[in-house]
Structure 1
Amino acid sequence: MQVKNQKDLVKFLQKLNQPIAKALSNDVAKTVKTVMKDKVKEEVYDVYEPTMYSRTGQLGSEESMKSELINDTTLVVENVRSDGDRNVAEVVASGSGYNFGFEYAGVPRPFTEATREELRNTGAHKAAMYRGLKRQGINLK
């Protein structure tokens, strides 16, 4: 489709909503979850070896990561690891809310922010979007 005016541009962009949503749900979500897993390992697991409890590894598992399209062009990926009513992901990231004292109580381990920063620096999410659209026959220059 050749875009000659604003009306053509609007039609063209509306046709892209479904492929964009599909690329976000499949390609971008997977990439963001992979980066988040790496950042949980670096920011949380590699920092120390616990002595007061045994790790479950759930914070770094994809099962604890939820991705959701909030509209056709916006994806939210979050770590929803919880332990009953406690949001474990938030406790670890903020350092606040532990039920016991230990060397990292009160010390933020901001894996979510590290994930955002990694994506900003590498553009991995943009590359995933490009691949996802290309796989659907949409070639971008």
Structure 2
Amino acid sequence: MVIKVDFTNLTDLMNHLNEQVVESLEADVGKTVRETMKEKIKEEVYAVYPHPSVYQRQKEHGGLIDDENIEVKMIGKDTVSIESVRMDDGRNVSEIVEAGEGYQYSFPYAGVARPFTEATREELENNGAVEAALYKGLRKRGLDIQK
């Protein structure tokens, strides 16, 4: 699908292009990174300690892999931030799990880091998914982008 838009000056064209990039970063790249992060949380956090006895995992119902707890927001005009923001009684659960420090009780993985953010970053650096999501998002918005 090609959307025809006429511009009378370069500034309007640049503004339009920048808007399309921001929308693609936030929607398409954000979704791709969120899904990758959820997979890495399953691998790095849930799979290595599958049956906690001290607490009950909330998973997609308020836990680490709940979309509401993986925040996608724009920082400036050209950077999208995707961050796990799971909180519990004012404590950043994501940071506790990442570092392995700050748990309220003792259990086998207290003190053991489970760095799902770094695993997410490495996966995305190696698989080209971010670039593909941006490309697809821009095409979806009517820009004929060539790889």
Q: What TM-score, normalized by structure 1, do the two folds share? A: 0.88
Instruction: Mark the CA change 1:53 to 1:10 in structure 2 (over 3 Å): closer, same or farther.
Output: same
Off by >3 Å, runs of 4+ in structure 1: 8-15
In structure 2, the gaps of 5 or more residues are 1-8
Higher helix residue share: 1
Alignment of 1:1-141 (within 5 A): 13-48=14-49, 49-57=51-59, 58-141=63-146
In structure 1, the gaps of 5 or more residues are 1-7
Sequence identity percentage: 47
When the two structures are aligned, how many residues end up with a matched partner? 134
Secondary structure at the counterpart of residue 59 of structure 1? coil
Instruction: Mark the CA change 1:15 to 1:47 in structure 2 (over 3 Å): closer, same or farther.
Output: same
Aligned-partner Cα distance in 1 for 2:11–2:116: 38
Q: What TM-score, normalized by structure 2, do the two folds share? A: 0.85
State the shift of 1:22 in Å: 0.6
